[in-house]
Structure 1
Amino acid sequence: MLTRLAIKNYALIDDLKVSFKEGLTTITGETGAGKSILLESLSLVLGKRADRSALRDQDQKCVVEAEFDLQRYPALLVFFREQDLDYDPRTILRREIQPSGKSRAFVNDSPVTLDILSDLGKRLIDVHSQHQTLELTEQEFQLRVVDALAGNGELLAAYGSERQAYLEASHRLETLRKQREEAFREQDYNEFLLDELDKAALKPGMQEDLETRFNTLSNAEEILETLASANRLMQEDDYGLLSLQAQLRQLTARLSDFGPRFSELHQRVQSLYIEADDLAGELQDLVAAQEADPGQLEEVNAGLQLLYALQKKHGVGTVEELVQIRESLRVKVDQTADLDLEMERLEAQVTARRAALEDLAGKLRREREAVLPGFTRALEQQLGALGMPNASFQWRLLPTENFTRSGRDSLELLFTANKGGQHGLLKKTASGGELSRIMLTIKAILAAYEPLPTMMFDEIDTGVSGEISVRMAEIMQQMSGHMQVFAITHLPQVASKGHRQYKVYKEVSAGRTHTRIKELTQEERIIELAQMLGGSGLSDSAITHARELLN
């Protein structure tokens, strides 16, 4: 419930602080005193869009703080956890509007977005005025009321969980169908590409090997001629490298007996000769093996051209990348064969989920159908006491094709205020005053079934007679046994029913007008009610009547 409201620098309010308690609180004041300003400033901490033009002093920021006691609403713990907010049984909502027009919102001093503030605000205060009773004509609200009366909370939670699972499975199945269609469209082409890459017998390093062989085979004549020349230099009889080294070896052999240094020199020459002899043998082998082979050159060239063509086709530059593409294609081709099995599994899952969902939706419909007759009787009975003795309701609970968030039901509320009248849709047949009384009655019935947030009724008693206003006030008083209720009113019959009464008034100070609010004492309430009954002139009869209303 709302325990404290503090407002700084808003419209005609410079600095206002007021505390509230449980039960029914009535708020009165002359037209133009600022009751609407009070409500507008409160709406800022409930998530309403900010307007810097409302700042009293354009050079100072506006701050509105509302403190709530949440001990009676343990369900709000879930909301705080979901939004990663610090929970406190004494929670403070704060809104700041800077002179620049920039707005900031806080919950327990933690910055939050306006959407989060608005979402939390709706859970804390339910504000109703004549124009806001249009919610009553909305199908979603009507279903929510019927479900609350039927006690469908757990059933709706189970339905919501099953619906989410069904939607997720259906989405996966639809995605898989599209993948399958796409896969089959590409299957032939993918198989062709894979076959082409498989036939290329791709191996890491093969491109470098082919390029080396191609370079050797395409220059075979030059290589053979050069090898032959090198071989002649090694093998020539008189002046070949081997002949000269053999002579050098003979000479150093003669010196080897004359000391270690000469022996070492001979060994080095001997090693040089052995290496040259081995080199000469390798040259002879290369000369013998080297020959021009146009067929082999053509084969190697064809292999290279195939690699280059595949790389260009797939937009890559290496064999290793082609290998990756080949394996990726192999996975796609293999997966296509598995898609049918996966689809069969998902189709069975979707069918089972849908059956479970239909069963839960059917249970919801039966529970709703069971509660509607009693709800209709209670509505018509209470509205009779509110000056609508011939009010008559008819409910149409119709099946829908799709699974909505609230089941497979479409609810239409038909109404007539006249005996024997033609029933029509509530939003087309009920006046604003009738909608206000219907909404009040529904909220009163709901209060006995679920914990509602703080209720604030903003002059919903406008245009009703004194006798009916008394009954409306009694209903609000009964509701206040379950929740905190505020009633902003011009009617003394309603104001007198409050457990406490506040007066909003204007005061001129230092040449400026200020909106103030104060809690009235018993005697002040008598004076206020007497003025509401008979005007500013306080007659004895007005005061007597005011005392009777309070008593």
Structure 2
Amino acid sequence: MLKHLSISNYAIISDLSLDLGNGFSIITGETGAGKSIILGALSLLMGARADVSVLKDKQSKCILEAQFDVDAYGLQSLFELYDLDWDSICVIRREITPKGKSRAFVNDSPVSLKVLKEVSGRLIDIHAQNEALKMNESDFQYEVLDSSLADTCLLANYKSCYNQWRKITLDLKEKETALEKACADFDYYQFQVDQLSEASLKDGEQEELEQKRDSMENAEAIHSALYQTANGLSMDDVGITSRIKEIYHLISKVEDHSPEVKELSSRIENALYELRDIANESESLTTSFIFNPVELEDINQRLDLIYTLEQKHRVNSVAELLDIEYNFSQKIGSVSDLEESIASLKSDLELKLVELTHLASCLTDSRMGIVEAVEIYVHDILQDLGMPNAQFKVKIDIQDGFNQWGQNNIEFLLSANKNQLLEPVNKVASGGEISRLMLALKSLLAQKKALPTLIFDEIDTGISGDIARKMGLLLRKMGTCMQVINITHLPQVASLGDHHFFVYKSDSKTETNSHIRELNYDERIVEIAKMLSGEVVTEAALNNAKELLIVS
């Protein structure tokens, strides 16, 4: 239940703090005093859209905070789902900055508006003055009817099966679309693979061929350079090695007389061996560099093929061409994989459809079985609320397809007067009749579902007298199993509250502020008397107010 609400810098509220209790609470006050503004603040805490227009002081941020006692509502799994700290007291906060930015928190953890709506929606239900339009919404009608199902797991099992069926259906459609595209492109992929495969490409061959071509094109120059190198190093008498050999013999004769000279002798000897080796290798290599026009033509043709393929596929290496060949091969193979996957999904879909059809049929039977009880309950409430000739029917049709609620179309029908045909609620009900019907439906929901806090904004609009008192008694009865808060202008309803809060405005030279406080017994008498007679409170009105409170 809602234990505490604080509002700062919102609309005409500078600072407002409100502590609430169990049972049935009443909020009254003059028109424009700020009752609906408080509801607006609660709507923001439930994830409604926010902007800077709500700021009283445009230079400061607006802070809204509500504390809920959630110990008895089994919400731990919801908090675990969103990785929120769990505590028996849940604190929801919303901040709106002067720049229009909005932040939301649950137990001091920042959350998205989606999470805020999910959490707050499990804690509070606001019935605003336009909420009666919900009676024509499928989700609300299903919620009302299904709250009375004996098997509470049946709908959950159906929804789980429906979600699985939807997922398989979407997966199948995606795979079929992919297969259709793959088949359309199959010939193209196959042609590319055949062309690349026929080329028998090898990673690194382009660089190797380019090197061979360069050597071949310069074979004569390389052959000449190698020949002259070999001759220059090893030619008798005039070759470099011959001269170094003579030098080595000279210095080796004196190497034993000095360590430094011996080291030089060793270095000259090593150089001699190295130059001889270079001369031999140069002579050997001369036979490798002989110009061969046929081989050069083969190399150029191979490189031309590689360059053509690279240009076609807009890449710069054989490695990239091999990747393209692999990818095209995978796409060709995916056709077979997709066909197997589609066959498997179709088989799964058939099985899931059988299960879904069975669960939907069970839901239909269960709904048909509780319709009469729901109709009787609502009829009895409407009679108590001054609609003795009202008839209420729940029309259930079976449709061809499935939705998240089953295979049914549900429609609420009402006849408010004698000899009046049953028609959809929005076509036949007046404002007061809609309010009474909505209260009857909310009363049914309150009995069947765990709603921590239920707030009504003038649900008693359009009624008066004894009917108003009966509506108040119904609200108070609902307050025995949940927290009910009702904004009202009717003294008959206000007198039945376990707690009575009064909203009022104060004016200074510069601004108007809205406030709220809980009334004591004597203050309640005066407030209810004003509701009966206006600002001028008569003795008769005071006595009448006392009688209303005593009887309550």
TM-score normalised according to structure 2 size: 0.85
Counterpart position of 1:211 = 210
CA-CA distance at 1:139 after TM superposition: 1.5
Q: Using a 3 Å threshold, how does the CA distance of structure 1 residues 135 and 295 change in structure 2: closer, same or farther?
A: same
Q: Which moved more, 1:270-279 or 1:344-353?
A: 270-279
The change in CA–CA distance for 1:8 and 1:189 in structure 2 (over 3 A counts) is closer
> 1:360 maps to what in 2?
359
Structure 1 residues 201 and 547: CA distance shift in structure 2, 3 A: same
Corresponding residue for residue 47 of structure 1: 47
Aligned mates of 2:385, 2:288 — CA distance in 1: 118
Structure-2 change in CA distance of 1:213 and 1:66 (3 Å):
closer
| 359-368 vs 521-530, greater mean Cα deviation | 521-530
Moved more, 463-472 or 185-194: 185-194
Name the CA distance, whole Å, in 2 between partners of 1:185 and 1:7. Answer: 63
1:382-531 matches, within 5 Å, as 382-507=381-506, 514-531=513-530
Q: What amino acid is the match of 2:326?
A: E
**Which residue of the partner structure matches residue 157 of structure 2?**
158
**Shift of residue 466 of structure 1?**
0.4
Q: 1:255-289: per-residue Cα shift (whole Å, max 9, x none)? A: 9999999xx99xx9999699869957974x77777
Q: Secondary structure at the match of 1:150?
A: coil
Residue 330 (structure 2) aligns with: 331
Displacement of 1:328 after TM fit? 2.7
| One-letter code aligned to 2:458 | E
Are the equivalent residues in 1 in contact too, given 2:464–2:490 (CA < 8 A)?
no
Give, in angstroms, the shift of residue 132 of structure 1.
Answer: 2.0
Contact 1:395 1:411 (C-alpha < 8 Å) held by counterparts: yes
Structure 1 residue 115: Cα displacement: 4.5
How far off its partner does 1:437 sit?
Answer: 0.4
How many angstroms apart in 2 are the aligned matches of 1:164 and 1:346?
15
Matches within 5 A, 1:12-411: 12-50=12-50, 52-75=52-75, 77-99=76-98, 102-151=101-150, 153-219=152-218, 283=283, 293-411=292-410
Residues 513, 324 of structure 1: alpha-carbon distance in 2 compared, 3 angstrom cutoff: closer
Report Cα offsets for 1:400-459 as digits up to 9, x if no partner: 444322222221222221222122221222222111100101111221111113112222
Contact 1:136-1:439 at 8 Å conserved across structures: yes
Of stretches 37-46 and 367-376 in structure 1, the one that deviates more from structure 2 is 37-46
Kept after mapping to 1: 8 A contact 2:96/2:103: yes
* Alpha carbons of structure 1 residues 234 and 369: separation in structure 2 relative to 1, 3 Å: same
Query: Once structures 1 and 2 are overlaid, which stretch shifts more, 56-65 or 165-174?
Result: 56-65
For 1:73, give the aligned amino acid.
Y
Unmatched 5+ stretches in structure 2: 258-263
Partners of 1:68 and 1:90 in 2: CA distance: 6
Pairwise CA distance, 1:531: 3.2
Letter in 1 for 2:24: L
Q: Residue 121 of structure 2 aligns to a residue in which SS?
A: helix
Maintained 8 Å contact 1:190/1:329: yes
What secondary structure, in the 3-state scheme, does the structure 2 residue paired with 1:126 have? strand
TM-superposed deviation, 1:352: 1.7
Q: State the identity as a percent.
A: 39
Q: Alpha-carbon deviation of 1:523?
A: 2.9
CA 1:227/1:516 → structure 2, altered by over 3 Å: closer, same or farther?
closer
Where does residue 260 of structure 2 map in the other structure? Answer: none
Q: Distance in 2 between matches of 1:300 and 1:364?
A: 77
Distance 1:16 1:281 in 2: 100
Tell me how far apart the structure 1 counterparts of residues 298 and 540 of structure 2 sit (CA, whole Å): 123
CA distance in 2, matches of 1:387, 1:433: 10
Are the structure 2 counterparts of residues 222 and 475 from structure 1 closer, same or farther at C-alpha, using a change threshold of 3 Å? same
C-alpha distance in 1 between matches for 2:514 and 2:67: 21
| Kept in 1: contact 2:431–2:461 (CA 8 A) | no
Using the TM superposition, name which of 422-431 and 121-130 deviates more: 121-130
**Contact map agreement 2:396 2:409 (CA 8 A) in 1:** yes
Q: Distance in 2 between matches of 1:58 and 1:290?
A: 88
Deviation track 1:138-185 (CA, whole Å, cap 9, x = no partner) reads: 111101111111146422222222222222222222222222222222
* CA 224–393 in structure 1, closer or farther in 2 if over 3 Å, else same: same
Q: 1:129·1:436 contact (CA, 8 Å) conserved in 2?
A: no
Residue 294 to residue 473, structure 1, CA distance change in 2 (3 Å): same
TM-score, normalising length: structure 1: 0.85
Q: CA RMSD in A?
A: 3.9
State the Cα distance separating 1:126 from its structure 2 match. 1.8
Please identify, of 159-168 and 49-58, the stretch whose mean Cα deviation from structure 2 is larger.
49-58
> How many residue pairs align between the two structures?
546
> 2 CA distance for matches of 1:278 and 1:23?
107
